[in-house]
Amino acid sequence: MKSLWKKGEASRCRDELDRLVYRSRLIGQESKLCVWSGGNTSTKCEERDFLGQWKKILRVKGSGADLKTAARKDFSPLDLDKVLEAIDAQKMSEEKLASLLYSSLTDATAPRPSVESLLHAFIPKKDMNHTHPDAILSLTNTKRNREITHKVFGEELLWIPYVMSGFALAKKVAHAFEKNPQAKGALLEKHGLITWADDGKTSYDLTIEMVSRAEKYIAQCAKKKKWSGAAVATLPKPRREAFLEEFLPHLRRACSQKQRVILHYVDSPEVLKFVNSKLGPRVSQVGPATPDHMLHTKRIPLFVKGTPGKITPENLVRQVNAYAAAHEKYFWKHRKPGMLMLDPYPRVILIPGIGMVTTGKDLKSAKIAAEVYEHAISIMKGASTVDRYASLTEAQAFAMEYWALELYKLTLTPAEGEMSRQIGLVTGAAGAIGKAIAMKCARAGAHVIVADLNAQAVKKVAEEINTEVKSEKAFPCVLDVTGEKSVEAGFQTVVRTFGGIDFVVSNAGVAHVSSVEKLPLRDWNQSLAVNATGHFLIAKTAVQLMRRQQMGGAFVFIASKNVLAPGREFGAYSAAKAAETQLARILAIENGELGIRVNLINPDGVFEGSGLWERIRRSRAKTWGIAPRELEKYYQGRNLMKVPVFADDVAESVLFLVSQRSAKTTGCILTVDGGVKEAFPR
C-alpha cells in the first residue's frame, strides 16, 4: 500500500484539528483501509473551552461521519482529563459510557462521540488511527491468527483477543499497552488495526507500513497456494442479462416483504470469481469480516443454491424466504428483552454464474452494501490463502448486529421521503411538464427514469434533478414511445438497474393544428403514433412487468381537457387523446385486482417552458382569432378561476396519483385546468 502523504499539503494545515482532518481524509480515500463510516482517528491537543480556559482535549471522529469526506465539525472535542477518570473503573454499562462521553463534550453542538473514543483516550499517545484494513483482517480472521500475526508483526503490535467495542475493549488495549509500551499499535482480533505515535505523520506511516507487511505476506502465500478452484463458469453476458430481466422482479418482491427495496447488480471479475468458486458457498456463511460491515451487509449473505439455467424464479423466492426464516430463528435465539427484529431479508445475494445482487432502501445504500461486500470478499480470499477463514461466533455477531449504539449510526441518515423505495419512469421527460413531474417525484424520494428521444436532453434533465435533490435519484433513458423495441429495451434497462418498476407517468405527446378538411394524413398518423400508440406501448410493456413482479403499481396518463371538451382545428390531437383515455380506463378495469391503479390527468393551457406550445402558438392563436402573444391571457380568461396553469400544478397532481395518498383511486380523471366547465368529467 502506498502512502498518499504530501508534505506541501500537510504543512499548509494551520492547527492540530486541520492536521487531523488531513490525515483522516488520506485514510478514508483508501477503501482498503476502511469503508463507509468505518474506522476512526484522533489527536490530543490543547484548546480553549467555552470559558476561555486551556484544556487538554481529545478530538475524535464522531459517530456516523465518513473519513474520506470528514471536516473539522465531524471531530468531537472531549475533555481528556474527565474521560480519563473512567480508566480505573472495573466495569461500565453502555448507558454510563454514553453519559460519560456526552458530559465530557466541550461543545454541545458536536456530533455524538464514537463508542471507540475511550480507546483513543486511554492510550497516552498523541495521534491514533483505527482502521479495518482488508489485508490485516485477512490475517486476524483465520484459525491460526495468533501464530500468523506473530510471524508478520512480532511484538510490534499488541494482540487483543476479540471483545466488543466499548469500555472493555478500551481497558484491554490500555492494559496490554502498559505491559508493552514500546508497541506501535494493536491488532484487534476479527476487527481491525490501531496505530499510534507522538505525531500524525508517523501514526499514518505506521498504518501504511503494517498493511503493506500483511499484503506482502498474503502475496507470498498466494505463490504457494491458490485460495480456491472454480466450481462454475460465468454465463455469457447476454444470458446473464436475460437471467436478470427474468429473475430480478421476483427477487425484489421476495426481499421487499417487510420493506420495499431497490436492487443493484455487480459482475466485477473479483465478484464473479468468488460466486463461481468451490469455497464460496462455505466461506461466505462463516460470518462477517469485521463487525462494522454488518450495518450494510448483515451477518451473512444468501448464497444461492443451484446452477443458473436450472433454477426457477419460484425456487429463488423459496431460498430468500428460507434465509429470512433463519434470521428470525437467530434473532429469537439471541434476543434480549425489548429488542425488535430488523428486516430479516438478505442485503447481499450471491448467484453462481451470474454475480452479486445487493439490496437497499435506495440505489445508494444498495451500492454501499456491494462495495462493502467486495471488501469482505477480498478479506475471505486473503484469509483462505494464508489459512482458513474464521469470524465472530453467532452470539458475538448478534451482539454487534443488534447493538443499540451501532444501530444509532443508521438513525443519523435523513428521514425517508414519501416516495422513497419507489421506482418510476416518466416519458417526455425533456419537456416542461415531464421534467416538473420527474423533479417532484425525485424530491419526494423516488428513483425516476427520465425518458425522452434526445440523449443529451435527458442527460441534462437527470443532472439538473440530481443537483437539485443532492442525490442520485434521476437516471436518463433514451426511448422512443412509438417503437416497440425501444420501449421494451427501456424497461429491460430499468429492471437490470433497479430490479423493477412501481409507477409510470405516460406523458410524451405532440400536437398539430388543422381543420379536418385540411389535415394531412402524415400529421394524423404522427399524432396517433405518439398520442395513442405511444401510450399503448408504454402501458403494455409496463403492465406486463408489473403483473410479473406482483407488487401492484400506479399509472398516470397525461391526457387533455380536449378529450371532454374538444376545440376546433385540433382533430388529430383530440382524437388520439380520446384513444389514450379509453386505453387508460380499460387498463384500470383489467388490472385493479392486482393492485395496479390507472388514472388520468387533464391539464389545459400549460405554457410555461412548453416546446409543444411554442410550435403551435401561431396557428392556435389564428384559430381563436387573437394575436399569438395573447394566447396565455385567452386560456387563463376562459377558466373559472382565471388563473394560469403551471407544469408544477400538473406535477403535484401526478405525485398524489402515484403516491399512497390515492391508494383507493383508479380509473379517475383529475382536472388541472383552473376549472373549465365544459370539460368537467362526467
Interface with Zn ion (CB under 5 A):
192
> What is the enclosing helix (H) or strand (E) of 351?
strand 348-351
Q: CA separation (Å) from 677 to 562, 581, 650, 681?
A: 12, 19, 18, 9
Q: Which 3 state secondary structure label does DSSP give 609?
A: coil
Distance CA 362, CA 420 (A): 7
Joined grid coordinates for residue 525: 398518423
Nearer to Zn ion, 70 or 272 (CB): 70
- Tell me, rounded to whole angstroms, the distance of Cα 662 from its chain centroid: 27
Nearer to Zn ion, 325 or 404 (CB): 404
Q: At a CB cut-off of 8 Å and minimum separation 6, what does 279 contact? A: 227, 228, 384
CA angle 649, 650, 652 (to 5 degrees): 65
Q: How many CA atoms lie within 13 A of 606 on its CB side?
A: 26
Point out the residue whose Cβ comes nearest to Zn ion.
192
Task: Provide, rounded to whole angstroms, the least separation between the CB of residue 131 and Zn ion.
Answer: 8
Q: CA separation (Å) from 628 to 615, 619, 631?
A: 11, 8, 6
DSSP result, 550-573? TS-EEEEEE--GGGTS--TTBHHH
Task: Provide, rounded to whole angstroms, the least separation between the CB of residue 261 and Zn ion.
Answer: 27
Task: Provide, rounded to whole angstroms, the least separation between the CB of residue 38 and Zn ion.
Answer: 7
Task: Provide, rounded to whole angstroms, the least separation between the CB of residue 157 and Zn ion.
Answer: 15
DSSP result, 284-345? TTS--SSGGGHHHH-SS-EE--S-TTT--HHHHHHHHHHHHHHHHHHHHHH--TT--PPP-S
**Catalytic residue check, 573:** yes
Catalytic residue, candidates 217, 265, 373, 573: 573
Task: Provide, rounded to whole angstroms, the least separation between the CB of residue 192 and Zn ion.
Answer: 5
> Is 509 buried (19+), middle (13-18) or exposed (0-12) by CB count in 10 A?
buried
Distance CA 190, CA 376 (A): 12
Joined grid coordinates for residue 367: 451500492
Nearer to Zn ion, 192 or 603 (CB): 192
Distance CA 513, CA 523 (A): 9
Task: Provide, rounded to whole angstroms, the least separation between the CB of residue 119 and Zn ion.
Answer: 9
Task: Provide, rounded to whole angstroms, the least separation between the CB of residue 384 and Zn ion.
Answer: 23
Task: Provide, rounded to whole angstroms, the least separation between the CB of residue 458 and Zn ion.
Answer: 43
Nearer to Zn ion, 176 or 528 (CB): 176
Nearer to Zn ion, 192 or 434 (CB): 192
Distance CA 520, CA 355 (A): 53
- The DSSP bridge partners found for residue 265 are 357
Nearer to Zn ion, 40 or 541 (CB): 40
Distance CA 358, CA 248 (A): 11
Q: How many CB atoms lie within 10 A of CB 378?
A: 20
Residues classed as catalytic: 573
